[in-house]
Chain A
Amino acid sequence: MIIMAEKTAQQKSWGVSYGEMVRREFAKNKLNVVSLVLIIILFALAVFAPFLANDKPFMIRLDGKLIFPLFASLKASDYSILLAAAIGIWQLILIRRNRRNIEPSIRGHVLSRQLLINASILVAGSVLLYVFVPRRLDATGYRELISSGRASDAIFAPIPYGYARTELEVREQPPGKEHWLGTDDVGSDVLCRLIYGSRISLSVGFVAVGISSLVGIAIGSVLGYFGGKVDFIGMRFVEIMMAIPVFFLIITIVAYWERSLFNIMIIIGLTTWTGNARFIRAEFFKLRNQDFVQAAVSLGLPLRSILFRHMLPNGVAPVLVNATFGIAGAIFIEAALSFLGFGVAPPTPSWGQMLSLGVSTTGRFLWWLTLFPGVAIFLTVLAYNLVGEGLRDAIDPRLRKAA
């Protein structure tokens, strides 16, 4: 007990970091927490999509033999996503543990070592998965096998349909007992496609915003730190970029290039960085003349350290906030592109694409095809915007009580 008490006393003495302060402030607003939980749920849905909605059973007894078709049918990419999620959660646990058990002096060192190990496990694991997981196309209709009596003891996923199923006899069915959220024009289950569609939305959001943040930070920090001529020329370039209507640029490029998710992510990322660049530039202008930056320069620290170690953490807050809005924006752009038919190609599900099916070829208005994807887009974009706003308020020193 005494040892425990000593330890807690020591923990307290390590001081409250800036990040910790922001976290506490963020958690004060319940709406922020709810939004964050919503986003985490979305993440969970995206990661575990194959286990939630799949036309292959977890296990089934076929001709007296127990087989596991769902696991066998998972692609290498599915396994990689699971691996990434597992490693991500493990890293979060490690960071929490570090904060409690590891001295701050070597914490950065330990953290970078952990990150390196985990990242290499992830890369190596993914490569191995791609090499060793066979590409198998399992077109067996397991439910027909059950009804014909050849198979038994099946355990299906909660939504026992695949996202690419075409079953024309059940097409355009309204929500019911069999299909909770109805079916679309080729008879695919809407709920199943919604769940798989979250993968597209989240990956578009994160990758596009990741690209746009990196490009924006790199360009903005250089412009802001050096100022003068560099800044003048750079800002004219940024202004030219801003003058181009991004959405139409994207439509044009997508029309010329192949319709792939990868292209869309890159294009969104490479056309939306200007806001980030301007934020970072403005912050760096302000920070450049701050005493602690002058002090860092007067200690002879190299430019890399001054820009990215001393200035960036102090100026990155608006970009982080902007990133959450950016994710919402990217999801929105992807949905709009897919709605217009420039997005990912079917049968890959995407929320915007589902939305566009609401008016069927026969001219009937299929409300469940408009409502549910629409609600999904609405909630996701709302959650990201709320988190962004919460983050902004938590970071804004004017709203925080003086320490």
Chain B
Amino acid sequence: MNNGTLLAVDNLSVHFFTEDGLAKAVQGVSFAIQEGKTFALVGESGCGKSVTALSIMRLVPDPPGKIVSGRMKFKDENILDLTEKQMRQIRGNQIAMIFQEPMTSLNPVFTVGDQIAEAIKLHQKKDSEQAWADSVEMLKGVGIGDAERRVYEYPHQMSGGMRQRVMIAMAVSCQPDLIIADEPTTALDVTIQAQILDLLDELQRQNGMSVLLITHDLGVVAERADDVAVMYASRIAEKAEAKSLFQNPLHPYTQGLLKSVPQLGFEGERLATIPGIVPDPLHFPSGCKFHPRCPVGGKDKRCQMVEPELREAQTGRHVACWYAPGYETKQEREEYESKYKQ
């Protein structure tokens, strides 16, 4: 598998102009997804990861949302420069999306076959009969038994796991290059979760597609992702290869997240939590947005006043924290010593 970059998001900012004020949902987010790899975007709810995903599809609800800056290079084009018509050619055909809620993501008035076939008809220019034959194949491909019969069923006749399989079948039906999976397993119970993720893995290997996995489940990330970006309050806090990030988290937020994952065989202790709550995007704290909850730099004047940008602290390790080893420049260190240290 070659290692070209499929999608490069550069300095993406999305703002929501709400009645209560300006909400900066995504600020200066940059990352790259390699061909055939899985990129995970991790974070608590409300941190901007879903908005980032919607921006890639250009589906941010407008108004009130607006992509205010950034570039998204998909293959050789900047997604943000495309017309709506060109965008429709990309949606479903080259980038497809799997939604969080399988119970509501399928249209209740059509059979599942209808819904898969419509996309195939549109993007692959096939006639009805062939599109339906393809839908049966797709359903078989996602492990739905008795697909010839199931294809005629309505969504309400299927279980949640089945519906998510149908959603995946819809997403992969036109062999897209990139699949955006927005918390694909959150609404499913644990035994089904693993099956769905295995299925995604398998389809990814078969078709050589890339996956942007959006999740708050670190267990899922550790197992499946090649690269990880941790988002906190509209910005990327840390970005690295999955393995090194899990072995040696640099950002205090990532460290906190990893500590709060329950582990088998650990008894007696209370599970660690990160104190406080995710800040409201209408009223972000000054300086580093994590400082009110940060065990390391919470009382530090500089953390309270100056927001650290994302930069490569160590080889292959991007992080946005003044305390991360290798982050500060010499000049900044000196400035800190003279200006902020009591």
Contacts and interface: CB of A to CB of B under 8 A. Distances in A.
The reply to whether chain A is a binding partner of chain B is yes
Nearest to B135: A105
A295 B99 contact: yes
A15 B153 contact: yes
A314 B59 contact: no
A298 B118 CA distance: 13
B128 interface: yes
B122 A301 contact: yes
B108 A105 contact: no
Give the interface residue-count category, chain A: 20 to 34
Interface in B102-141: 104-109, 111, 113-114, 117-119, 122-123, 128-129, 132
A305 B118 contact: yes
A290 interface: yes
A157 to B, nearest CB: 46
Contacts of B152: 13-15, 103-105
B246 interface: no
Nearest to B93: A300
A230 to B, nearest CB: 12
B64 to A, nearest CB: 10
Contacts of A141: none
B4 to A, nearest CB: 24
B90 A300 contact: yes
B323 interface: no
B154 A314 contact: no
A13 B154 contact: no
Question: Chain A contact residues: over half helix, strand or loop, or mixed?
Answer: helix
A52 to B, nearest CB: 41
B99 A294 contact: yes
B118 A295 contact: no
Nearest to B156: A403
A17 interface: yes
B105 A300 contact: no
Interface string B278-294: 00000000000000000
Given A18-B108, A18-B109, A292-B105, A299 B91 contact: yes
Contacts of B104: 290-292
A208 B322 CA distance: 72
B63 interface: yes
A300 B109 contact: no
B111 A104 contact: yes
A403 B154 CA distance: 12
Contact of B108 (A295, A299, A314): A314
B113 A105 contact: yes
B interface, size bucket:
35 or more
A314 B123 contact: no
A109 B89 CA distance: 25
Given A18-B154, A301-B92, A301-B119, A292 B149 contact: no
Contacts of B233: none
B149 A13 contact: yes
A296 B107 contact: yes
Interface in B70-113: 87-93, 96-97, 99-101, 104-109, 111, 113
A314 B96 contact: no
B213 interface: no
B59 A300 contact: no
Contact of A104 (B89, B113, B157): B113
Contacts, number: 99
Nearest to A103: B152
B59 A297 contact: yes
A294 B61 CA distance: 10
Contacts of A302: 88, 122
Contacts of B154: 15-18
A300 B89 contact: yes
Contacts of A313: 109
A13 B150 CA distance: 8
B23 interface: no
Interface in B143-167: 149, 151-154, 156-157, 167
B42 interface: no
A65 B111 CA distance: 63
B57 interface: yes
A228 interface: yes
Given A295-B167, A314-B107, A300 B91 contact: yes
Given A17-B154, A105-B129, A301-B92, A295 B106 contact: yes
Contacts of A292: 104-108
Interface string A274-309: 000000000000000111101111111110010001
B170 interface: yes
Nearest to B62: A228
A143 interface: no
A131 interface: no
A106 B96 contact: no
A259 interface: no
B193 to A, nearest CB: 19
Contacts of B119: 299-301
A36 to B, nearest CB: 23
Contact of B129 (A16, A106, A297): A106
Contact of A299 (B96, B109, B128, B151): B96
A171 interface: no
A302 B121 CA distance: 12
A106 B128 contact: yes
A299 B111 CA distance: 17
Contacts of A14: 152
A295 B105 contact: yes
A17 B114 CA distance: 12
A302 B87 CA distance: 11
Contact of B170 (A109, A294, A299): A299
List 3 tightest A-B contacts by C-beta distance, closest first.
A300-B91, A299-B92, A300-B92
20 contacts: A17-B154, A104-B111, A104-B114, A105-B113, A291-B101, A291-B105, A292-B106, A294-B99, A295-B97, A295-B99, A298-B59, A299-B92, A299-B118, A300-B88, A300-B90, A300-B91, A301-B119, A313-B109, A314-B109, A403-B156
Given A18-B108, A106-B132, A300-B88, 14 more contacts: A13-B153, A17-B154, A291-B101, A291-B104, A292-B106, A292-B108, A294-B105, A295-B106, A298-B91, A299-B96, A300-B123, A301-B122, A302-B122, A314-B108
Interface of A: 13-18, 103-106, 108-109, 227-228, 289-292, 294-302, 305, 309-310, 313-314, 403
